[in-house]
């Protein structure tokens, strides 16, 4: 530390944020023998481990277990589902999160040896106006001035609410606060039917709440699969109102009333807003160092993730790239390579998979049919119902389908879309097929273990030359 200025000197990389992008960058930089400092104003670990992927999927698994006990389809077996002890469920989720945070984040930082400053960081400029510096207001009081050769903005995102009349006067939940409820609501209205809204809606429905979803249902999903999933939601007792919410209000008896663009009104005990997430950049003083933000508040970066300032980089949700923790982690490693080694690397998002953890789950990779047409490609598509997949028949759950999009001339796979239990695992096979430029004919001829859901991809590929009704029980 410089005694005259109070600055922490000699860092190669200063990381703002301790989520997936920040940790990946810090690990990569430390492995290169570089000095790293991390600044975190909240809980170590970022969105995924604390309020996103880990807790939501843990609660979804618990809810699915209860729902399965109430609705299982196997003859000769009787199961039932009683009321939910929400406080115990919450405590179990919190214990899981705390364990993973300690093992995979705070413990790793200690093992690699970089310090984590607890406080709020903002950019400043030196007197000469050349190199940026960070001014950190420490949680325990006092201020620290941090200087580094490079800086990474990895501050993530936070739940956002749509511009809906009356929202300021309503005590609404977000995907974060909904997972902290120690008492389940009797009824819930979810505004937003994207992946977060669908997961949260089914979570609470499977725990016993009466749920209504308001919004365009699964807007980025292939229409054939979205229609099937909407039917599943109806079977689960979830009311789907595929209209845009325009106003919300609290009734005299304390309930929430949601009004749509067509005048439809939906009532519930609680309201959950699932209308997207926005990048977290407030308070960073980006203007002082010439870092620009876009129309959604995202930090503007080039393909190498460098901002308008040559020493400042950004990665993860804050950049406006797809908000997945595996994207954030890849960004962190990329920034370490580019900033510290001048690697000039970029990422190819062509084979980036996406998963919505409903039951059955939605997963996709590559182009949709509409995207292929917009790109001027002549495509050929096939939709295989799960009733043609032996694994689904054995599971007594044929709710779902597999859709493949292929180039009509060459047969090269352009995209794969799966609605099935375990769809996230199935889609990994399609990622490899896309990355290796495989044709559906090649996919149809590859080995695949029998009685797996992944076999459905092979069967779907076979339908490009064989009618579904003529497919063998054992794919060959």
pLDDT 10s digits, 324-379? 999 999 999 999 999 999 999 999 999 999 999 999 999 999 999 999 999 999 99
What whole-number distance in Å separates Cα of residue 19 and Cα of residue 323? 12
Alpha carbon 354 to its chain centroid, in Å, reads: 8
What whole-number distance in Å separates Cα of residue 96 and Cα of residue 179? 13
Instruction: Give how far Cα 185 sits from Cα of 52, 84, 94, 169, 170, Å.
Output: 21, 11, 20, 19, 16
DSSP for 89-101, written as a single string: HHHHHHHHHHHHH
Instruction: Give how far Cα 348 sits from Cα of 67, 326, 431, Å.
Output: 39, 13, 12
pLDDT 10s digits, 254-299? 999 999 999 999 999 999 999 999 999 999 999 999 999 999 999 9
As beta bridge partners, residue 420 has 361
Q: Where are the beta strands (DSSP E) in 47-131?
A: 116-125
Q: Is 71 left (phi over 0), alpha (psi -120 to 50) or beta?
A: alpha
| pLDDT score, position 88 | 97
| pLDDT score, position 110 | 96
Report the chain's terminal Cα–Cα distance, integer Å. 68
What whole-number distance in Å separates Cα of residue 380 and Cα of residue 367? 12
Q: Which domains does the chain have, with CATH numbers?
A: 7-158+279-341 (3.50.50.60), 167-275 (3.50.50.60), 354-470 (3.30.390.30)
Q: Is the pLDDT of residue 474 over 50?
A: yes
Q: Is the pLDDT of residue 472 over 80?
A: no
Range with lowest mean pLDDT among 78-87, 128-137, 222-231, 411-420 = 128-137
What whole-number distance in Å separates Cα of residue 402 and Cα of residue 418? 5
Token pair in block for residue 471: 């497919």
Give me Rg for the CA atoms of the chain.
24
As beta bridge partners, residue 366 has 415
pLDDT 10s digits, 148-207? 999 999 999 999 988 899 999 999 999 999 999 999 999 999 999 999 999 999 999 999
What's the whole-model pTM score?
A: 0.94
As beta bridge partners, residue 16 has 39, 153
| pLDDT score, position 4 | 41
Q: Cβ(25)–Cβ(13) under 8 Å?
A: yes
**Which contacts qualify for 302-308: CB closer than 8 Å, 24 or more apart?**
303/346, 303/347, 304/334, 304/338, 304/344, 304/345, 304/346, 305/331, 305/334, 305/335, 305/338, 306/338, 306/339, 307/153
Q: Cβ(261)–Cβ(243) under 8 Å?
A: yes
Average pLDDT, the chain: 95
Q: SS3 for 167? A: helix
Confidence of residue 125 (pLDDT cuts 50, 70, 90): confident
Main-chain dihedrals φ then ψ at residue 210, nearest 5 degrees? -85, 120
Consecutive H or E run containing 204: helix 195-206
| pLDDT score, position 5 | 44
Residues whose CB is less than 8 angstroms from the CB of residue 22 and which lie 6 or more positions away in sequence, other chains included: 15, 16, 38, 46, 152, 154, 315, 316, 332
What whole-number distance in Å separates Cα of residue 26 and Cα of residue 37? 8
What whole-number distance in Å separates Cα of residue 207 and Cα of residue 259? 26
What whole-number distance in Å separates Cα of residue 348 and Cα of residue 327? 11
Consecutive H or E run containing 86: helix 86-101
Token pair in block for residue 181: 């409820």
Token pair in block for residue 472: 């063998």
Confidence of residue 443 (pLDDT cuts 50, 70, 90): very high
Consecutive H or E run containing 362: strand 361-366
């Amino acid at each position: 530390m410089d005694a005259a200025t109070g600055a922490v000197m000699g860092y190669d990389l200063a990381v703002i944020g301790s989520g997936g992008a920040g940790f990946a960058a810090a690990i990569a930089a430390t492995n290169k023998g570089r000095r790293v400092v991390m600044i975190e104003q909240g809980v170590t670990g970022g969105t995924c481990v604390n309020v996103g992927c880990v807790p939501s999927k843990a609660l979804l698994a618990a809810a699915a277990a209860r729902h399965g006990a109430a609705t299982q389809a196997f003859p000769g077996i009787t199961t039932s589902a009683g009321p939910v002890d929400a406080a115990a469920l919450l405590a179990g989720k919190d214990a899981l999160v705390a364990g993973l945070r300690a093992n995979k984040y705070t413990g790793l930082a200690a093992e690699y040896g970089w310090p984590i400053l607890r406080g709020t960081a903002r950019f400043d400029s030196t007197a000469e106006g050349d190199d940026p510096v960070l001014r950190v207001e420490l949680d325990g009081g006092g201020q620290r001035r941090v200087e580094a050769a490079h800086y990474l903005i990895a501050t993530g995102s936070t739940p956002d609410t749509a511009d809906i009349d009356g929202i300021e006067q309503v005590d609404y939940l977000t995907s974060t606060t909904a997972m902290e409820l120690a008492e389940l609501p009797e009824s819930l209205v979810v505004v937003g039917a994207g992946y977060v809204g669908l997961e949260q809606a089914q979570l609470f429905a499977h725990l016993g709440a009466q749920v209504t979803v308001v919004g365009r249902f699964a807007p980025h999903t292939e229409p054939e699969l979205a229609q099937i999933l909407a039917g599943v939601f109806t079977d689960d007792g979830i009311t789907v109102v595929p209209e845009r919410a325009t106003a919300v209000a609290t009734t005299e008896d304390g309930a929430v009333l949601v009004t749509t663009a067509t005048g439809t009104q939906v009532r519930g005990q609680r309201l959950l807003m699932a209308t997207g997430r926005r990048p977290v950049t407030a308070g960073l003083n980006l203007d002082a160092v010439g870092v620009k933000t876009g129309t959604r508040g995202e930090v503007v970066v080039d393909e190498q993730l460098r901002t308008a300032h040559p020493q400042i980089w950004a990665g993860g949700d804050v950049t406006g790239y797809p908000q997945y923790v595996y994207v954030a982690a890849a960004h962190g490693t990329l920034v370490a390579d580019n900033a510290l080694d001048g690697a000039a690397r970029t990422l190819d998002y062509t084979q980036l998979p996406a998963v919505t953890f409903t039951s059955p789950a939605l997963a996709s990779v590559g182009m949709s049919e509409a995207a292929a047409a917009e790109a001027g490609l002549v495509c050929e598509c096939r939709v295989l119902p799960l009733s043609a997949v032996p694994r689904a028949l054995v599971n007594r759950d044929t709710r779902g389908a597999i859709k493949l999009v292929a180039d009509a001339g060459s047969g090269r796979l352009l995209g794969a879309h799966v609605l099935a239990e375990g769809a996230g695992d199935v889609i990994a096979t399609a990622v490899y097929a896309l990355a290796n430029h495989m044709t559906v004919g090649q996919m149809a001829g590859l080995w695949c273990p029998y009685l797996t859901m992944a076999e459905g991809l092979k069967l779907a590929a076979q339908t490009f030359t064989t009618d579904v009704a003529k497919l063998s029980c054992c794919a060959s």
